[in-house]
Amino acid sequence: MIATSGATLEGTPDLARLEARLAEAGLKAGAPIFMRIYKLEMELELWLKRAERFELFATYPICTFSGRLGPKLAEGDRQSPEGLYVVDRQALNPNSRWHRSFNLGFPNAFDRAHGRTGTFLMVHGGCASIGCYAMTDGIVDELWRLVTAALAGGQQRFHVHVYPFRISEAALAARAASPWASFWRRLGEASAAFEEARLPPRVAVCGRQYRVTAETDPRSRGDRPIVVGCP
């Protein structure tokens, strides 16, 4: 997909009506947030917390990412990562080369356990990528407003779960021969745990694998860190 950084992609919400859209959804800037990225569908979902659950606020088109389905393995492979990541205030760059950006935190503990390498894997503005997710400037500006409001409102960090596709039994069965099939199935546990509770799940890295547990505390802001060790 080719577009300029200032282009409006098909499927982009009305960015000029952010406050009105929030009000119509019964949501407020400053509430805790959660994101999910889907490579195949080229979409980023933004969820905000209302009362005891997170609600889907917007689905944004991704302008471009690099590589193919499957995780990032090594510096220079031009592959955009997949996995379960957390982002805190230190990961935000308001003066990015690509307008504004936040660092996904690759390699995380899971990636490092598998010897994966890479740096500066971002969600950013513009529409060019060498391992990042490019959202256009307008979309990243809206994300930035809600990210910074959530962090200012008390959320210590937010989860970004990056999937190869919307995971279902049918989608997994269609790709059962992939070398990444077991990895994708494990990521699917995180997706299912969120769908069950509508709260970002608890994530640990245990024995070089993600271990996911559905969150049960309705007070959760969705800002638990990824734990290294077996729960």
Q: What is the pLDDT of residue 3?
A: 43
Q: Write the DSSP string, 7-74.
A: ---TT---GGGHHHHHHHHT--TTS-EEEEEETTTTEEEEEEEETTEEEEEEEEE--EE-S-SS---S
Residues 200 and 191: their CA atoms lie apart, in Å, by 9
Please indicate, yes or no, if residue 149 is contained in any of the structural domains.
yes
Cis peptide before 107 (omega within 30 of 0): yes
Question: Cβ-count burial of 125 within 10 angstroms (0-12 exposed, 13-18 middle, 19+ buried)?
Answer: buried
Please indicate, yes or no, if residue 138 is contained in any of the structural domains.
yes
* Per-residue pLDDT at 2 exceeds 80: no
Please indicate, yes or no, if residue 175 is contained in any of the structural domains.
no
* Per-residue pLDDT at 6 exceeds 90: no
Q: Is 229 helix (H, G, I), strand (E, B) or coil?
A: coil
* Per-residue pLDDT at 77 exceeds 60: yes
* Catalytic (active site) residue 99: no
Please name the amino acid found at residue 15. L
Phi, psi dihedrals of residue 133, rounded to the nearest 5°? -115, 110
Q: Which of 63, 99, 127, 132 is catalytic?
A: 132
* Cβ pair 230, 207 in contact under 8 A: yes
Sheet holding 99-103, edge to edge: 64-65, 133-134, 122-124, 99-103, 92-96
Q: Which of 124, 127, 159, 161 is catalytic?
A: 124
* Per-residue pLDDT at 157 exceeds 50: yes
pLDDT category, 127, cuts 50, 70, 90? Answer: very high
* Per-residue pLDDT at 19 exceeds 60: yes
Q: What is the pLDDT of residue 231?
A: 72
Q: Which tens digit of pLDDT belongs to each residue from 132-153?
A: 999 999 999 999 999 999 999 9
pLDDT category, 122, cuts 50, 70, 90? Answer: very high
* Catalytic (active site) residue 230: no
Rounded to an integer, the average pLDDT of 213-219 is 97
Give the domain extent around 156. Answer: 15-166
Please indicate, yes or no, if residue 189 is contained in any of the structural domains.
no
Please indicate, yes or no, if residue 117 is contained in any of the structural domains.
yes
How many structural domains does the chain have? Answer: 1
Question: Cβ-count burial of 202 within 10 angstroms (0-12 exposed, 13-18 middle, 19+ buried)?
Answer: buried
pTM assigned to the model: 0.96
Please indicate, yes or no, if residue 216 is contained in any of the structural domains.
no
**Residue 95's CATH number:** 2.40.440.10
Please indicate, yes or no, if residue 157 is contained in any of the structural domains.
yes
Residues 20 and 58: their CA atoms lie apart, in Å, by 13
User: What share of the chain has pLDDT > 70, as a percent?
Assistant: 97
Please indicate, yes or no, if residue 153 is contained in any of the structural domains.
yes
Q: What is the pLDDT of residue 5?
A: 54
